Amino acid sequence: MVLAAGDRIVIRSGMGDMLALREAGDVAFGVPGAHAIEPIVNRETVLLEGVVGPHSHALGLRLVDLDLRRLYGAYVLAVHRQGEHMEGNFDAIRLRIGDTVLLEGPPESMARMFERREFVNLSQPTERPLRRNKAPIAVAAVLGVMALAAFDVLPIAALALIAAAAVVTFGCLESEEAYAAVHWSILMLILGMLALGLAMEKTGAARLVVENVAMLVAGLGPVAVLSGVYLLTSILTEVMSNNAVAVLLTPIAAGLAVQLGVDPRPFVVAVMFAASASFATPIGYQTNTFVYSAGGYRFTDFLKVGVPLNLLLWVTATAIIPLFWPLTAG
């Protein structure tokens, strides 16, 4: 940039350095009748490093989209990606997981920025001290939910909600921490998959699949039919709610057992175990979905580990279930 007459320059520097620059004579300060140096701002700033985490609000956005200067008074001084310094216009850089950003800004604004999870603070600890004196309350809440649910005092969902309200009320955690701990995107994904499973059940698509498979294995022996029931349940529970699969397949499995003239109990047990063993997709069971988000996994990670595990349990269940629940009624 070539400076021209009348250009106004905003310089961030200490007053002493500015006076030294004026005395050197290289730059003329001020105009007649005005102050030679006009201080724009005088405030304390800090330098902090932040990294883009898997749950950062900045992930996938350009720096200009974050509007850090207006919201927090923060300036980006450097961006590093995989150990290399990023050159060029910082505002045009689209952030990825692991990018490190060097920021300068007021301490209070920077603290607010990290609290809102724009970046993960690498320069200052963000962990809060453990509230060990509140630990007995949290443990009592968990044990209370388990005990009352075991005696069927209230539904476990209602008990969990009461326990959550209790730990917030008694100071185990603050309400802001409770809200921050809720992964709303995961809840929407779970609700969406429940809706998909319900749609398959209401439209008859799931029953159609089940009945066609049942016809294919009906002419086989009891052990082969038991194995087929387990495999079918295992496949369906990867894309539907495990509860819906269990409700749908249990009467069909019992009906197949009656047609074969064997005890229905091992078939019901096969459905029970298969519906509870969902490992191949992050949407097959709610716990998988929580781990999927918290651990930063990919969909293919579940396939690589879950499919062999499902197959192993399929073979194991086919061999073990008839030993504990004989096919022939005693």
Residue 29 lies in a domain: yes
| pLDDT interval class at 134 (50, 70, 90) | confident
Q: Average of pLDDT values for 3-23?
A: 70
Here the tokens at position 218 are 């009906």
The radius of gyration computed from the CA coordinates of the chain, to the nearest angstrom, equals: 31
Which pLDDT value is given to residue 175? 78
One domain, residues 250 and 273: yes
pLDDT in tens, 61-118: 888 888 888 888 888 888 888 767 777 677 788 888 888 888 888 888 888 888 777 7
Residue predicted with more confidence, 197 or 130: 130
With the C-alpha atoms ordered 8, 14, 18, 21, is the resulting torsion angle positive or negative? negative
Which pLDDT value is given to residue 311? 93
Count of Cβ atoms closer than 10 Å to residue 182 Cβ: 9
Number of domains in the chain: 4
One domain, residues 83 and 64: yes
Location of structure tokens 């209070």: 108
Residue 16 lies in a domain: yes
Find out whether 314 and 231 touch, Cβ atoms under 8 Å.
yes
- Interacting residues of 244 by C-beta distance below 8 A, sequence separation 6+: 197, 198, 200, 201, 206
| pLDDT interval class at 144 (50, 70, 90) | very high
Residue 329 lies in a domain: no
Sheet of 46-51, strand order: 84-85, 75-81, 100-105, 46-51, 120-121
Q: Which of 166, 182, 198 is at the close of a domain?
A: 182
Find out whether 280 and 310 touch, Cβ atoms under 8 Å.
yes
One domain, residues 311 and 191: yes
One domain, residues 91 and 138: no
Residue 3 lies in a domain: yes
Which pLDDT value is given to residue 70? 83
One domain, residues 96 and 147: no
- Note the pTM of the prediction, 2 decimals: 0.44
One domain, residues 200 and 265: yes
One domain, residues 269 and 281: yes
One domain, residues 317 and 211: yes
Which pLDDT value is given to residue 320? 93
One domain, residues 18 and 106: no
One domain, residues 204 and 280: yes
One domain, residues 150 and 103: no
Kindly tell me if the per-residue pLDDT of 258 is higher than 60.
yes
Find out whether 326 and 235 touch, Cβ atoms under 8 Å.
no
Which pLDDT value is given to residue 316? 94
> Range of 57's domain?
46-121
Burial (CB < 10 A; 0-12, 13-18, 19+), residue 154, is middle
